[in-house]
Amino acid sequence: MVVSHKGGSADWHHPATLPIARPLKLIDEHTEEEGEVEVLVAEPEITEPPMYAVVMYNDDYTPMEFVVYVLQSEFRHNMDKAVEIMLNIHNQGRGIAGIYPKDIAETKAKKVNQTARKEGYPLLTQIEPHQSS
């Protein structure tokens, strides 16, 4: 049902009878002339997250085998690399088990400390900011 009003105006309910919209013209604020305005899109700045070293410290009670086990199971090092890191911990007093973004490093350090305590060892693992080379 089409309702006609005096003056021949179109039915506002039916899309085919709506007036055609004209494109808007933008005014450039700098020239104050009508026309198109160019929009420059800047590339987003993507930076690497700060990295943290998971550092394991030497003690006189935690067995070397346990340290190697943790380096293999938690940090996914192969046997040779795990032994190398364990010897660094033993000889240098500390060694880096891995380098990760902060939240992952914190989680790994906490898990290693919990596992060591559960097994009765005082192995200490902490994180520290890592300066990339």
Is the pTM higher than 0.85? The answer reads no
Does the domain spanning 59-123 belong to CATH 1.10.8.10? no
Percentage of residues of the chain with pLDDT beyond 70: 72
Residue 27 has pLDDT above 70, yes or no: no
Query: Would you list the domain boundaries of the chain?
Result: 59-123
* Stretch 60-83: mean pLDDT: 98
* Mean pLDDT across 47-67: 96
Contacts (Cβ under 8 Å, ≥6 apart) of 81: 71
Mean pLDDT, rounded, for 13-35: 57
At residue 32, the pLDDT reads 52
d(CA 117, CA 96): 20
Phi-psi region of 30 (alpha: psi -120 to 50; beta: other; left: phi over 0): alpha
